[in-house]
Structure 1
Amino acid sequence: MDWKNTFSPLSVNADDALPELMLAHLASWGAIQIVGTDAKSYLQGQVTCNVVSLEAEQMTFGAHCDAKGKVWSVFRIFHHNGGYAMFQPLSAIDVELRELKKYAIFSKAEITHSGDIALGLMGVQAQAWIDSHSETRGDVRSIEGGSAVKIDSQRWLLLINSERTAELVNTIEAVKVDESLWTRFEIEQAYPVVTQAEQNEHIPQALNLQALNGISFNKGCYTGQETVARAKYRGINKRAMYIVKGNIESPLSDDEVVQLERSVGENWRSAGQLMVHYTFANNTAIGLVVLPNNLDEETEFRLSSQPDTRWIIEALPYSLNDDE
């Protein structure tokens, strides 16, 4: 049996208990790999995070921008297979790879779309499983076939080769779920997910990267730095990413853009598109969306394609205030 066919949807509500150990094939995620003697210095001049100070056992968020500060890619970067891996939505990789490689011809850095496979290990027993399969105790660990990266208290990313993937999937004693549950946790943690549909639309602060330690303001020059610095020191950013929640009348498409509208008096106006979304068993759903950061907390929303639905903004799990 093909290991890719062993994963099934897990229909749950927000408060339902989950299996203690779950494994998902993150088929809509991938990684860019950078190796070579100039890999560190090249990335340092391209991305918002500080690659020079990134230790072997650390992972950090980062973004790669165009010259105007608009984001091509939001990624998690970590040491992997003798270089670096930039883990991100698969649909963003083609454009991001093209943009990231533009000036690499002048550097001893090889930038490629990694052939490694992404698996998500989830649940209260995820940490114990990782501990039993690795000799080190950092947030990034070398394991058989690749790397294990801690995402949060109950999630680990496994970026491993195809041979090890088949072996692991066929032998692990875990509930094999589809990747939608991983998406749910990304939303609940308010971690930005920039797919192809959102590329070159937002500056990093509109995606809350400053609250997730994904921007270094003292690392030196990188592409788009002027815009990112002005957004911090002159307060020019007027948008932020929020968790929204509401009901649905019919299933939300994973292949089409899902638009939100917001209530303005007795009228409705376009508010933005869901970056990602997840639906619970009781036909409520959650998603991430970039909105003006001065909206009233009581602002009501609805799905453009389902006008009888009602959505609201949920509290973020972190602060957007630079002073907190």
Structure 2
Amino acid sequence: MSAAFATNGVVRLAHWGLMRARGADAASFLHGQFTSDVLHLGAERAVLAGYCSAKGRLQASFVVWRAAADELLLACAADLLAPTLKRLSMFVLRAQCKLGDASAELPLYGLAGEAAAARLGDAPVWSRRDTPEGTLIRLPDAAGVPRALLAAADAPAGLPALALETWRWLEVGSGVPLIEVATVEQFVPQMVNLELVGGVDFRKGCYPGQEVVARSQYRGTLKRRMFLFDVAAPAQAGQEIFHSGDPGQPAGLVANAAPAPQGGSRLLAEVKLAALAGGSLHLGAPDGPLLQRQALPYDVPLESAATA
């Protein structure tokens, strides 16, 4: 790995923003909107959550944690913070919950490598604790590199700077999707493996799109999943994927992408399960750059491939 992709240090996560929900009904309100259990979220952990439309399509994804008894913080893609804040605010109605943008007050930083490991110890993934530097959340490792999310007024002192493109490469490699403006309402949660990484609780109460999400889970109707690929070309969220055996229509969509240390890009893409049976996948056009599938850090069920 080149020096430009050194994986130890700290970086300001400019592509992430932070929302605050405060009030006696903040947890119950968000619990009724999100795919995960927010109502019973303890102070010692964070949780992944999706925010769906009535059709079960993801409008945003969050890392959520409790800052106080009546206050929760929600990290999401910066380009979605304002529209998501506006939409959520429409449904607060009489609930005692005030929503706001906390990004300027509490910037988000990414810690990777030894910088993260020294602060995390043996803390489990998605654990959350307050430290003198700020609130620290353990994220899933990527490419064997420990990672943490830090919400703090200032960056930790004395750490090497980490390139943002390095963090993005690790972020993509972790297999945890981030819904961005380019992919709003493109995916049911299972299409981007959100339930495989802890972002859907099938035991909780109702939320927008719950019936669609449950049907995809229990009726075997899911025909698309997210996988990890490398490609020898620039890539970005929202680009279409094409299959050599059916060039007339897209076979998938890029969810997230980042520059790779060896050149080209690493990307997470949702694709038809049937497209994995043979042929080749290409970025942007039927004759576009070839995608090379890589291993995700978790198993993806493929049982629907035969009927896709």
Do both proteins adopt the same fold according to a TM-score greater than 0.5, normalized to the shorter chain? yes
Identity of aligned residues (%): 23
Whole-Å separation in 2 of the counterparts to 1:235 and 1:308: 32
User: Given the alignment, which residue of 299, 302, 306 partners 1:319?
Assistant: 299
Matched, 1:194 2:185: no
TM-superposition CA deviations, 1:75-134 (whole Å, max 9, x none): 111112551111111111122112211221211011111132011010034221356xxx
Cα distance in structure 2, aligned partners of 1:311 and 1:290: 12
Q: Extract unaligned runs of 5+ from structure 1.
A: 1-8, 13-17, 132-136
Match of 2:242 in 1: 261
The residue identity in structure 2 corresponding to 1:45 is G
In the TM superposition, 1:7-22 aligns within 5 A as 11-12=4-5, 18-19=6-7, 21-22=8-9
Cα contact 1:299–1:312 (8 A) shared by 2: no
Q: CA deviation at 1:322?
A: 10
CA contact (8 A) 2:17 2:76 kept: yes
For 1:289, which of 227, 247, 269 is the aligned residue?
Answer: 269
Correspondence for 2:306:
none
1:257–1:72 CA distance, 2 compared to 1 (3 A): closer
* Deviation larger for 34-43 or 280-289: 280-289
Q: Are 1:273 and 2:274 counterparts?
A: no
Residues 191, 88 of structure 1: alpha-carbon distance in 2 compared, 3 angstrom cutoff: same
CA RMSD of aligned residues (A): 2.7
How is 1:173-188 mapped onto 2 (pairs within 5 angstroms)? 174-188=159-173
Equivalent position SS for 1:64:
strand
Tell me the matched-pair count. Answer: 293
The answer for the alignment partner of 2:40 in structure 1 is 53
Task: Give the Cα–Cα distance (whole angstroms) in 1 for the partners of residues 45 and 265 of structure 2.
Answer: 33
Deviations 1:262-312 (A, max 9, x none): 2117x5643333222222343242101111123225441223379463212
Q: Give the Cα separation in 1 of the matches to 2:78 and 2:170.
A: 18
Residue type matched to 1:296 in 2? Answer: L
1:160-171 superposed matches below 5 A: 160-161=152-153, 164-165=154-155, 168=156, 171=157
Q: CA, structure 1 residues 298+285, in 2 after alignment: closer, same or farther (shift >3 Å)?
A: farther
Is contact 2:241-2:271 (8 Å) kept?
no
The 8 Å contact of residues 25 and 178 in structure 1, kept in 2 or not, is answered as no
Q: 1:119 aligns with which of 98, 109, 112?
A: 109
State the match for 1:90 in structure 2.
78
Distance 2:107 2:168 in 1: 17
* Secondary structure class of the residue paired with 2:130: strand
| CA distance in 2: counterparts of 1:238 and 1:193, whole angstroms | 21
Contact 1:10 1:181 in 2 (8 A): no
- What is the CA–CA distance in structure 2 between the aligned matches of 1:28 and 1:141, rounded to whole Å? 23
Secondary structure in 1 aligned to 2:203? coil
- The reply on whether 1:26 has 2:13 as its aligned counterpart is yes
Rounded Cα–Cα distance in structure 1 between residues aligned with 2:133 and 2:225:
38
Contact 2:169/2:260 (<8 A) preserved:
no
Alignment check: 8 A CA contact 2:47 2:126 kept: no
